[in-house]
Every structure is written in structure tokens, then in C-alpha cells.
Amino acid sequence: MKFKNIAILIFVLLILDQALKLWVKTSMCLDESIEILPWFHLHFVENNGAAFGMQLNTSGAIDWGKLLLSLFRIVMIGGLGYYIHYLNNAARRTPRGVIVGLVLIMAGAIGNLIDSMFYGMIFTASTPLSVATLGEGYSTFLMGKVVDMFYFPLFQWNSVPSWLSFLVDYNNYFFGAIFNLADAYISVAVVYLMLFHYRFFMEEE
């Protein structure tokens, strides 16, 4: 797969991710929800942590968990970029699907890193009573919050076992996690690569 095509794909994926996040951030109050379908809502939340709204609980003047996660994303993006370049130029032909899957993961990581790097510097804080605007930032470099919005309350699971409680929200609706497009890129790519290209990675070893 040509480098130009890889760059274009990453650019398009990032534009889609950031356009949706910017619209949500500047159009909705924190915790506001728009029902698209009974089982699909746009529900605006922000998180300091990893994918699907998971939080990193830290204390102190510096949010070390947030900082370490941002630094990890930077290292991962660099490693993925090198690996994609290596596979794309290897003597053995790499299936196009493998490259596309890795590009999806890379674009997802970059998309969430952009939130962390810049949103805290360029936007005012979102609150349940006010919509954020461009202006004095609410945080510093790498300390911005990640914007999430996809919520799928498919059904209410009142008898959920405690060890599966992370799958439901506070009203016991499955699927409880709220996530963004970048998270979806990563999740879809990981499942796709595991299902259809696991042999390639086993042979790589």
C-alpha cells in the first residue's frame, strides 16, 4: 500500500473523528443527550482516561495517570508508524487488510491524543449548564479531556453479575460504555485483525 494512500486514509479518519468531536464540544452541554434512535444516543461526556470512558483515578497537583497515558499514546503511535513502514517495505508481501487495520489503530490513537494535547488549551470547560467555546483553556498541554459521545442503551440488564458490571451503566443498561469514533477505529481494527489476520501475525513471530 503506497505511503500516499496511507497518509490520505489517516487524514480522512482524523477529519471525521475531530469534526464530530468539535461539533459535540461546541454544540452540547456536558451530559446532554440527543436520542437518534431508542437504542442509539449522542451523549456528551468527557474522560481523563482510556478508551470507552474508562477513568484513571489519580490525585495531586499533577495527574500522573493522564500524563502517562498521553506519553504512552505518543510512544505507541511512533511504534505503529515504524511497524507499518516496516511491513509496507518488507520483502514478504503484507496483506492490505493488515495495513488498513494497523492504520485504523494508529488513527484512533492520534485522534484521542489530539484531544489530550490541545482541547484543554483552546476550549473553555464544558459544564451541564454551558457549552464550551474557543477561548481561555481549562487545562494545560497533554491534560485535556477526551470527548466521548456514542451511547448504545440496547437493553436493561438488572440481573447483571457483579463481575460484568462494567458492561452496564448506572441504570443497568447494556451497552453502558460511552465512546467516540477514535475508540471505534481501534476496537473494530483489533477485532478484524484477530479474526481475519491472526495467522499473519503468528507467522511473523
Nine-digit cell at 55? 477513568
- Collapsing DSSP to helix, strand or coil, 149 comes out as strand
Q: How far apart are the first and last CA of the chain?
A: 22
Burial class (CB in 10 A: 0-12, 13-18, 19+), 2: exposed
- Please report the pLDDT score of residue 165 as a whole number: 86
Task: Enter the pTM of the model.
Answer: 0.88
* Per-domain boundaries in the chain: 3-204
- Distance CA(84)–CA(81), nearest Å, equals 5
What is the structure's pLDDT at 66? 78
Q: Is 201 exposed, middle or buried (0-12, 13-18, 19+ CB in 10 A)?
A: exposed
- Give per-residue pLDDT as tens, 48-95: 765 444 555 555 556 777 788 888 889 999 999 999 999 988 867 899
Residue 183 designated active-site: yes
148 assigned to active site: yes
Catalytic residue among 17, 63, 115, 148: 148
DSSP per-residue string spanning 94-112:
PPHHHHHHHHHHHHHHHHH
* SS3 label, residue 47: strand
- For the chain, which residues score pLDDT lower than 70? 49-62, 91, 204-205
Q: Which of 17, 63, 115, 183 is catalytic?
A: 183
